[in-house]
Amino acid sequence: MLYQVYETQRALMAPFSEFASASAKLYTHPLSPFTHTPLAQRVSAGLDLMHRLAKDYEKPKFDISTVDIDGVEVAVLEQVPITKPFCRLLRFKRFSDNPAVLEKMKTQPTVLVVAPLSGHHSTLLRDTVRVLLRDHKVLITDWTDARTVPLSEGPFHLNDYVNYVQEFIRFVGPEVNVISVCQPTVPVLAAVSLLATHGEFTPRTLTMMGGPIDARLSPTSVNDLASKKPYEWFENNVIYRVPSNFAGVGRKVYPGFLQHTGFVAMNPDRHVSSHYDYFLDLIRGDDDSTEQHRKFYDEYNAVLDMPAEYYLETIKTVFQDFALVNGTWFVDGTQVRPQDITTGAILTVEGELDDISGAGQTRAAHGLCTGIPKERQFHYDVEGAGHYGIFSGRRWRDMAYPVVRDFIARYNDPAKAAATSRALVPEAALQVAAAPATRSVVKRAARKPAAAKKG
């Protein structure tokens, strides 16, 4: 019922939103007489803000058409090699007529980025992909909004997520390097563990960033909510059926609008301040700041519905039973055993100020992957970075990415990795050929205790 009420409200607000947008332009267009009235700029700014608060936000595009490689602009085209009911495997194919650049691209490592299925679309990792494309062949999981998936496609469980990841890894092949960001760190580690248990190849490198491998450590408000509320509370209070105006009518989901409400409720003052600053920037005519605000909230406000069974099973498995770290997780009858992984190398990355996945939660993977020699296990703390800062923005580009890039480059070639592994310092830091500023951060991170402060 709540979902239907929300959809009714959204339909009623749509004309108002469009009217506010048109009226805002009426007060700024140079040929409009209203532009020359007193307070025209303020009225236009207010109407523009009303439009953005009332409008519906659709899934954004990755919008990555080119990437710079060694000073050469290379074209990028999106391809979809695999389409599943609840996910597409998206490939960013690079093209160039420069022989030197083309030869370099052919030898670069292949990276599979596993995006979160936790509210926002995979385009949240746009900056992650854009930067990775400089030095890698990149594929990403593009999860489907559950409200668009017909009931005839059946349910989507946490085990299905694990199976999807395994299928994508097999498709890419033995040369794959996997990066998981936030929520997928747990099912990705499970997928790789099961591949190892069954005697299949595992990724050359596994990078896990800001995820709840062991949510008992440094619990955040997100962890507290998931662990302190009983399973039945989530089942009775956040699960609704998709209304009739979507293809997935009747499917049980955790609606995107409820997730968005939760996101905003975590930092309401910050969002109010951001919107007020946007209003002032419109009045001042600060086009750069207003465009930056629009881009951020076009992404932040675009949310998807999650399949109910997947969401509820994630709550129970990851945040209540801690099944991965307790060794009690079984996928299709097979126990998840990270200790069975013996090949490749792993890197965990955490943000010093992460308020979603607390300090030590991702790093806990090292205590589980005991089959990987210590000299191939590494950890990196990104100083001053919050949750989003480890995979997007300046700290991702300048601090985290050089470490991830050089880690993959070192271990993408097994023969080279064997000859040079002794040069690396396990777990405490990753001392690879990075920028001087990054090296200093790595050294400071190495002296910090595992439980860095939270923000």
Q: How confident is the model over 430-449, as pLDDT tens digits?
A: 433 333 333 333 333 333 33
- Average of per-residue pLDDT values in the chain: 89
Model pLDDT, residue 265: 81
Residue 240 inside a domain? The answer is no
225, 269: one domain: no
Cut 0.95: pTM above it: no
Q: CA 261 to CA 124: how far, in whole Å? A: 17
223, 115: one domain: yes
10, 114: one domain: no
Residue 434 inside a domain? The answer is yes
Q: What is the mean predicted confidence (pLDDT) over 76-103?
A: 96
138, 275: one domain: no
User: In which element (H, E) is residue 379 found?
Assistant: strand 377-382
Residue 243 inside a domain? The answer is no
166, 92: one domain: yes
The two most distant CA atoms of the chain are separated, in Å, by: 74
Share of the chain above pLDDT 70, in %: 91
Model pLDDT, residue 416: 66
102, 49: one domain: no
Q: Which of 51-60, 293-302, 395-404 has the highest mean pLDDT?
A: 395-404
296, 417: one domain: no
50, 104: one domain: no
Q: Which amino acid is at 187?
A: P
Q: In a 3-state reduction of DSSP, which class is residue 85?
A: coil
Q: Using 50, 70 and 90 to split pLDDT, how confident is the model at 9?
A: confident
Residue 249 inside a domain? The answer is no
Q: What is the mean predicted confidence (pLDDT) over 305-330?
A: 96
Residues spanned by the domain of 114: 66-231+306-447
Model pLDDT, residue 364: 97
294, 417: one domain: no
Q: In a 3-state reduction of DSSP, which class is residue 76?
A: strand
Residue 102 inside a domain? The answer is yes
291, 317: one domain: no
Asked which of 36-45, 318-327, 394-403, 433-442 is least confident by mean pLDDT, the reply is 433-442
Q: Cβ atoms within 10 A of the Cβ of 86, count?
A: 22
* Beta-bridge partner residues of 241: 252
* Tens of pLDDT, residues 355-378: 889 999 999 999 999 999 999 999
Residue 426 inside a domain? The answer is yes
Q: CA 104 to CA 102: how far, in whole Å? A: 5
Asked which of 180-194, 262-276, 375-389, 422-436 is least confident by mean pLDDT, the reply is 422-436
CATH of the domain at 432: 3.40.50.1820
268, 314: one domain: no
Nearest to 209 by CA among 354, 350, 355, 110: 350
- Are the beta carbons of 312 and 231 closer than 8 angstroms? yes
Q: 240-241 and 205-209 as β-strands: parallel, antiparallel, unpaired? A: unpaired
* Tens of pLDDT, residues 178-229: 999 999 999 999 999 999 999 999 999 999 999 999 999 998 888 888 888 9
Residue 248 inside a domain? The answer is no
Q: Last residue of some domain: 241, 265, 300?
A: 300
Model pLDDT, residue 242: 95
Going by C-beta distance under 8 Å and a sequence separation of 6 or more, which residues neighbour residue 41? 27, 28, 282, 283, 285
Q: What is the number of domains present in the chain?
A: 2
Q: What is the mean predicted confidence (pLDDT) over 12-17?
A: 90
Pinpoint the alpha helices (H) of 254-411.
256-266, 268-284, 287-300, 308-314, 323-326, 365-368, 394-395, 401-411
Give phi and psi for 418, each to the nearest 5.
Answer: -65, -35
209, 173: one domain: yes
Residue 212 inside a domain? The answer is yes
Q: Using 50, 70 and 90 to split pLDDT, how confident is the model at 424?
A: very low
Question: What angle separates helix 268-284 from helix 287-300, to the nearest 10 degrees?
Answer: 150
Tokens of 249: 């009518």
